[in-house]
Every structure is written in C-alpha cells, then in structure tokens.
Amino acid sequence: MAEGKSTKIVSLKDIAPHLTCALCTELLADDVTGICESGHTFCRFCLSRLDECIKCNRRFVKDARNYMIENMAEIVKYKCQNYYFGCKTLLSADLLVKHNLTCRRRAVSCPLEQIPEVLCWWKGCLSEVLDHVKKNHGDRLTSKNYFRCPSLESTHWLTEYKGELFLYYKYIKDGEWNACVQSVGLTEDEFKGVFVLRSHNANSNEVIEISFVVQLITSLDNVHRSGRCLLLDHIVVKQFIKNKQMNMMVSIEEILKR
C-alpha cells in the first residue's frame, strides 16, 4: 500500500451483490466465469446462451475468466437459509450462522404461542411480527422497559424497546415461581432481564436481585433447563407478598458493548 493511503474496510454484505452473474444474478461460486470486452461477468451457463453482452452489447473475450470474482465469490458463497424468500444475503460460513438467527425474512411464530392463556397460532416473517403484535395483542404491549408485577397469577407482557420485541412471562410450575424475559430477535443487540423483589416492610433490607442475559424465544422448558430465568420456591417468595400483592420489579436493560 502506498505511504499515506488509508485502508477502507468494506463489509462482505456490500461486496456479495457484485459477485453475481449479470444475467441470472446467481452467485458466481463453484463455476467458471466468462467476461465481455467491458468486463461484465457471466456464469458459464448464461454465457453459452448469449452472442453478446446484454449490458453493453460488446463481444465476449474468448477463454477469459474473471478469477478475482470467482475467488471472492468462493469466500461468500453461502446463501441465507431464507434466500428464496427474499433475503439475498451472501456470507462466509462463520458469519452465516449468526445471520440466520436474526434474518428479517426468517419464519417465526407469535411470541405468545407458548403462553397457555393465549396460544396464538400466527406464523409469518420476522419483519411482520411487530405489526402482528400491535394489531392483535396491543392490550399486552408496552413501550416501557421496566414495570411492577404484583399479581400472584400467571402474567405476561410484550415490550417494544430499542428496536427489539421482548416477552415477559411469570408463572407457577410445580410449586415454584418462574419468570423470564426472551427476545424475538429484531436486532443483534444484547440485553439483560433484571428481577428485583423487595420486602413490603420499610424497615427491612430483604432484597433479591437476579439478572440474566436475554435469549431468543424458545420453549419454556428450554428456558427452565438453561437456568436463564427467575426460579424461587414459595417459601422464599412469600416474604415479598403482602395483601395478595408481590413487591416485584422487572426491567430490561441494554448491555453496552465496550
């Protein structure tokens, strides 16, 4: 690199769309390319069907290949699992796994599908889930990232916060109190759910505070097994109950990257 020149960092996501055949737009990986006199690149199959370049009407260069395009396409040759549902993202293998988890075109279920009191069976794209929730479950949707949860009954809330959609659910199972916060996956940001129980007695310092990194929505059994939830027996919880009200606060906080 010449002295004084700065290095420009380019995302693979920006490069990938330029590594496709000029006719069929398929990625030029695992294929022999051909080029025209202007440099437009085609896959072998499309090249065999053309007499001249469809972009500039110039002739093709005999036995010429675009090795740079072929090599770069080989690196980012992996398609998003939702490629044929509209997501044209092409990535290297190590980046694709994370992308598939947050792809806006991936199929998802309603966050309330696993809540026994609701059992909503809606399914659609990740990009549609927020509109679905606002239209069908608006009475359980809040924009606050903190709230009291005094009820001794099973309780659920949906929270829209910092571009993400969260599901909070508190319930009793096998005589134990469970509470968890999960995310739908609208962003790649990290969050934590914080649960605070305080004694109703103003003279008492009895406090329980537990926090967990928020995970993508999964079955309640998986959450329970992972340990990423509030799990307390009734003997402990009754210290924070008075007049059939639980003194419990829940908050969702962004984990800032250093």
Tens digit of each residue's pLDDT (9 = 90 or more) over 228-243: 888 888 888 888 999 9
In the CATH scheme, what architecture does the domain 109-254 have? Sandwich (2.60)
* Domain boundaries 12-102, corresponding CATH code: 3.30.40.10
Instruction: Say what the pLDDT of residue 127 is.
Output: 85
Residue ranges, the chain, pLDDT below 50:
1
- CA–CA separation, 50 and 52 (whole Å): 6
Domain boundaries, the chain: 12-102, 109-254
What lies within 8 Å, CB to CB, of 107 at 6+ separation is 82, 85, 123, 124, 125, 126
- CA–CA separation, 123 and 111 (whole Å): 10
Instruction: Say what the pLDDT of residue 179 is.
Output: 92
Instruction: Say what the pLDDT of residue 35 is.
Output: 93
**Residue 149, burial from CB neighbour count under 10 angstroms (0-12, 13-18, 19+):** middle
pTM of the model: 0.67
What lies within 8 Å, CB to CB, of 109 at 6+ separation is 121, 122, 123
Instruction: Say what the pLDDT of residue 1 is.
Output: 47
| Digit-coded pLDDT (tens) for 160-187 | 999 999 999 999 888 889 999 999 988 8
Instruction: Say what the pLDDT of residue 216 is.
Output: 86
